[in-house]
Structure formats: structure tokens, C-alpha cells
Amino acid sequence: MITVERHGDIPWLVIDRPERRNALDDTGWCGLADALRAVEHRPTPVVITGRGACFSAGDDLRHAAGLAEQELLDYAIDTVLAAIRAVVEHPYPVVAAVNGPAVGGGAELVAASDVAVAAASATFRLPEVALGVAPSQFLGLRPCGPKTMAELVLCGSVLTAADALGAGLVGAVVPDADLAAEVDRRTTAIASAPEAAIRAAKRALTRDLRAEGLARIEADIRAQLAIPAPATP
């Protein structure tokens, strides 16, 4: 489900399930986290993108629907949040090449990334509240202003790529045909900087998330599912 390609020295992690709009089940989320860990030793940025016309439809609801309460908690924290954590804690910048719609967990991957470039046709949507849950990870990542987050979360509004640029969810929007070239340009620029400076900048940019944000997201997930955290020894 996760295919690793290379643009020169830069690894591209491709969510490769176009028949399901690149929806991620446990295999996909775990595969993404594993792929990120597998390239941690390479002193370069890493790109996440989707195969075909969609970035990612997020969680595969068919998989989640079949889980019992404790299994759902384990899946949300040990699988989905673990993949988001792998993006945030990766030692080098993670770049989202948003080639199409980013829905639910797909939008959360964009929010977790350090740099995001969107194709002009890309859209962003969070349907979780309509499905009976709150998008704790997106809210915890706080990728844009509160009014934009309310539109996405409460109203289920669809953001265009231009909207996402104005809200700060992505850093650039380019014609669809130019997406790969623009991402290559940015990753080449990042990779040309001294390795120590890149690592230090990534640590500084994610300090608050690593220190408190990820723990807050986990607590919010547990509160939604009404399952207490394990007692501290």
C-alpha cells in the first residue's frame, strides 16, 4: 500500500491504493510509519503523496467499523496516531505533495507535515463530526486559524487549494502538472542546507507538538472513546 520511489536522492512515499481513493487501513498506516522510520538515516527530506487523482481519503471506514471498543482505541492510538507521530518526530522535514483531495486522515497528514504543496485541483475536508467523532488529530495539530478549523470541523466545509493556502494549511499551490517539479525544487533546496541545521530547524518547528501536542491528542482520543489512560506505575 506504501510504495517508495526516489526523485534523485529524495524518497517519495506514495500511498498506493487508488481503487479506494488511497484510504488507509491498519496496513496502510503502519506501512507509512514503517517507511518513514526506514528512511530516517538518510539526511534528506521525505515526500508523502498519493497515487492517481487523490492524495488520501483518510481512514478506511470499512476497517474501523468492524472494531470493538478497545480495538478501536488501540487502532486510533497505536496505528493512526503512531503514523502521525512518525511524521512529526521524523528527524528531517516531511513534505506533503497534495495531488488531489485530502479527506479526514489525509488532511491530518497534510497538517502534520512540515511543508505542504498542493495541486490546484486539491481539496480538503473533515467529515468526522458528521460521522459521530471529532477529528482530534487535526484539532491538536492546529494547522490553521480557529475560524477555518471550525468551518472544516463543524460545518464540513470543503476548502479549495486556494482556501487552504490562505488559511496556512499549505504553503504553495501550483498547477497540477507542475506539482512534482515544484516539490522537487523545494526538497532540493532543503537538502542543500547543512544537515545539522536542517535537523535543528525541524526540532524547533515541532518542539511544542513533541512536548505537549501529541500527548494532548492522545488524551482527546481517549476522552472521545471514554476509555481511561493506563495508570502510571
Rounded Cα–Cα distance for residues 63 and 59 (Å): 8
- What is the rounded (10 degree) CA torsion for 56, 164, 204, 12? 30
- Give me the mean pLDDT over the 11-20 stretch: 98
- What one-character-per-residue DSSP string does 15-31 give? E--GGGTT-B-HHHHHH
Q: How far is CA 216 from CA 38, 124, 136, 153, in A?
A: 27, 23, 9, 18
**Listed residue (136, 145, 137, 147) closest to 113, CA to CA:** 137
* Stretch among 103-117, 172-186, 192-206, 215-229 having the lowest mean pLDDT: 215-229
Q: Reading across the β-sheet that carries 2-7, which strands appear in turn?
A: 2-7, 10-15, 46-50, 94-98, 115-119, 172-174
Evaluate whether 80 touches 44 at the Cβ level (below 8 Å).
Answer: no
Cell 476522552 found at: 223
Q: Which domains does the chain have, with CATH numbers?
A: 2-178 (3.90.226.10)
Grid cell listed for 97: 505533495
**Which residue would you say has higher pLDDT here, 137 or 27?**
27
pLDDT of residue 230 exceeding 70 = no
**Structure confidence by residue, pLDDT tens digits, 43-101:** 999 999 999 999 999 999 888 888 888 898 899 999 999 999 999 999 999 999 999 99
| 3-class secondary-structure state, position 38 | helix
**Listed residue (109, 131, 117) closest to 171, CA to CA:** 117
